[in-house]
Amino acid sequence: AVWRGPAFADFADEEFARTARDRLDEQRLTALEEQAEVRLELGEHALVADELGDLVALHPLRERLRAAQVRALYLAGRQAAALGSYAELREQLAENLGVDPGPGLEALHRSILGQDPRLTAAPSPATSAVRPATNIPAALTELIGRSGAMDQLRTLLAANRLVTLTGAGGVGKTRLALAMASEVVDRFPGGVRLAEFAVLDPTPVPAGRAGAAASPAGVHEVVGAVLGVR
């Protein structure tokens, strides 16, 4: 889904919408702040600096947002603008709330004044690594009551190349498999993929051929070991 405009814009004057609207607006701003920080790590300094201008003007006292703007301006080579944004926030906080910027912003300000080389250092591989590719669908609900099965699956996956979940239809085999696949994505640099075999025609793959391919690889079947059904 794409966010467009204020939440519950058609019900701006309705009491029932205020709490939900405020909560959604806060979630949106937090997401935008996180997005800005990630984009800065990716080197999009000038773009982020330009795009945050209007958002900061609408929310001038949000320190995390302002910190992202100050850092973006500095990394984009606009040191004077970065220091000006910090000074503006400091003045507005003093006038409106009677407080100073938080420790994080003050530390950022000192780093800019001191030309701290760590501000422009490239992110380490650990922080810049791209998550392995996957087409595993996001779960719409929480997996409840399957912690024991998940523990067994973890043990089986640690010792086997292939684990097969079998059981009657509707007992939750697919849901369990998807939950485990989502959990282990980062362990497989090549990615974790969902293959929908149910829609394929098995005729072109004779059973003998499939068995011949599986046997040398040491593949074995674990029947009902996790779900406890046969």
pLDDT tens string 163-208: 888 888 888 888 888 888 888 777 776 778 888 766 566 566 555 5
Class of domain 9-128: mainly alpha
* Domain boundaries along the sequence of the chain: 9-128, 130-230
pLDDT at position 182: 82
pLDDT at position 212: 52
Per-residue pLDDT of 38-96, as tens digits, reads 999 999 999 999 999 999 999 999 999 999 999 999 999 999 999 999 999 999 999 99
Do the beta carbons of residue 136 and residue 185 sit within 8 Å? yes
Mean pLDDT rounded to a whole number for the chain: 79
In angstroms, the CA 135 to CA 183 distance is 13
Do the beta carbons of residue 70 and residue 108 sit within 8 Å? yes
Q: Looking at the whole model, is its pTM more than 0.75?
A: no
Encoded tokens for 215: 């046997």
| Strand, helix or coil for residue 203 | coil
pLDDT at position 128: 43
Instruction: For 88-188, list the strands marked E by DSSP.
Output: none
Contacts of 143 (CB under 8 A, 6+ apart): 150, 175, 176, 179
